Structure 1
Amino acid sequence: MSNDLKQEPENEQPNDASEQTDADEAIAEKSRTKGTFAWVLVLILLLLIAAAGWVGYRYVYQELLSTNQQLEHQAGQQQKQLEHVQNELQQLSQQQQKLPQQVSQQLDQVADNLRRNVSDQAQELGDLQRSVRSVQAEFAALDVSQATAWRVLEARHLVEQASNKLYIDQQPKLALQLLELADSHLAALNNPAYQAARQAINDDKVVLRSLTTDAHVQVAMELSSLRTQLAEQQWQLSAPTRTLTGNAVSADAPWYERLQASAKTLFDQLIRVQHREKPIEPQLSMAFVELSKQRVLLQLQLAQQAALSQSDALYQASVSEAQRLISEVQTQSDLDLTALKSELDELATQSLEPDLPAQLRSLPVLNRLARALTAGVSQ
């Protein structure tokens, strides 16, 4: 009995040693399993990073390279265009420096021409007065029939001269004076047979009084006001803004959709890829916008000079060029130039020449009377 008790402890010691060995092996196995899992996880992460790098290089980096090349090419073209515009600006500035001297010379020439015209008209008026006095002296020796024919023929001649002054010399005031003198000859006859001729002359006088001969001065004043307003305006371009599209996901969405939305939001904050179906256009620089404004001011100054000199062709060409520049700047930027464009459109419809009637009504009437009198005299 005592021998059995002594053998039991001896048998228990090997069992405890085997259990300890199994536990150590289990722990070692778990450690090897964890190490293998960690290496597999690291390998997966490396593969994901390599795949992300390949995708970034294949799509994002190549797209950025092509976009950068396009921007460099367009920047070069824009630089060439800016240099060309700067050369034009230098030429325009030189012309603008010479313009006041040219304007003063032209104004002096116009003033000299006006003085010569006034002197010639005064001399012509004196000749006409002397001719009238000599004719009146001869008229006193004529009989009634000869006086009537002479006054009718003289009235017809004065109306012809008024027509020439109106349509050839563009002098409505002088034409009006000649019509009044022709009407005075018919009024001196005091004959109801010539009432229709006098009515036609009065109708022509009413038309000539309604003509506006200072339209070009009014247009020049409007252009001066428009130039002042444009010079005080500040053409400011708004800076481009970056907008991010929202990636809102509903609360009951699956976990992979929420994970995809979070990844997309993070990707948009880091890198943003845009696809455009048209070439990328660089934003206009402030120097180019200011240069366009100075060119518009120069064209308005040329139009004002053309208005003062009553050069309708130069006026229309300058206003059309200013309209083209305004449209070009408005289409290529976000500037609101609608009011300026509407004022230019209104000025383009203005005419520097007076709206003359097609023909004087009194001329054919007096021609018929003159032919009737000359036919009666010849018979």
Structure 2
Amino acid sequence: MSDEKKKPQEDQTTEVEATEVETAAVTEPETSSDKQEQAAEEQAEIVTDDAVTEGDKDSAVTGDVQDKPDVQKTAAANAAEPENKEKQKKPATWPGKLALLISIIALASAGYLYWLSLHQTSTAAQNNAAIEAQINTSLNDARSSLDKVVAEVNQKLGQLQSQAQTDKAETRRLNERLTKSIQQVTATQHTNRADWQLAEVEYLLRLANQRVLMEQTTDGALQLLKSADKIIKEIDDTGIYDVRKALAEDIAALEAVPKLDTEGVFLKLGALNKQVPNLRLIPISAQRKLPELLEEVTPEAIEESWTTGLQESWSKVANKLDKLVVIQHRDKPVEPLLSPQQTYYLQQNLHLMLEQAQLALLQRKQASYDASLSKAHEWVATYFEEKDGTTQSLLRGISALQEVKVTAEMPDISASLRALKSYLSYMTKLKEQGAS
């Protein structure tokens, strides 16, 4: 089947080629038989090549080696056929002429298109070269312009930086002037109330310092400082921060001073003072009188002593003699007995000594306090009965109170007052500058 299909195709191809040859023979003048023979040979070679090509294609598709003899036969037939047709020399028909015309037109169109493409390519190359040159020129111009712009920008930037520094310095100076002006206006606007409050604070601080220096007390001075701090808080001015800081330090220093129970010590002295009327003076013992002792030595006692033994009697007599003779050792001169009037004065002096100790306690005078209690203790121990309960209680109370320290090392609280004075001086200068 493949061979039968191939033969009509080959016949058709051969006929078309023969027609073209004949057409060429008609259009061209027949000069000699040599040209015709040469054309026939060329046509035969073309047909043979076509047959071989078709045979190769068929052999590649089918892969049958047995088709090769048929291809050779067909090629031989095709080679012999142009010779027969050349011998026939049939006249050309209108389809051949039309095909020739179409071929010529196609060739002309192809040539024109080829020429046009070459012309366009050349024109495009020229245009590209011109555009490239123009671009290079533009780039060079742009680089030059950019360099100039960069130089101008750098110069302008330097000028702006210099101007910015100048403006910054001017702004700082204006801010300082504005701050100073605001402070002056603030000082002028708050003259009335702030001045009165600061004057009150200064008075309280002065009074607290006087209490500490003169009275040696912390309670009163501490309350004064706290009142001053409360007033400063109400003023609500940041300018007096240093004053309030120093005031807080002074308050802390006063609070660190050891506390003295002044009221308790004062009441104890008062209680001891009330016990003075209950003291008993040293009496003259009745057993120390000689008549009373001699009455106990009777004849019956002597006889009894001889009967009970000389030793026992002697012991009793010795005991009686011990009671009769009393030896007292005194380092001081013997003081005479007090009269009732002198006893009254002694009690009043004791009252005075204890009251003087109370006053020294309130005034924080340690020397006066110690002297008053020492004198009272000496009088009680000298003129009143030692074994009496009231005397012993009074002596113990006085000894305990003698150990109390009524004074303490007071801190220096003048820092807040100095800070306030400095602030007031500064505000006064601001007011004077604002007025001028």
Same fold at TM > 0.5: no
Please say which structure displays the higher CA radius of gyration.
2
Q: Which has the higher contact order (CA 8 A, sep 6+)?
A: 1
Query: When the two structures are superposed, what TM-score results if normalisation uses the length of structure 2?
Result: 0.34
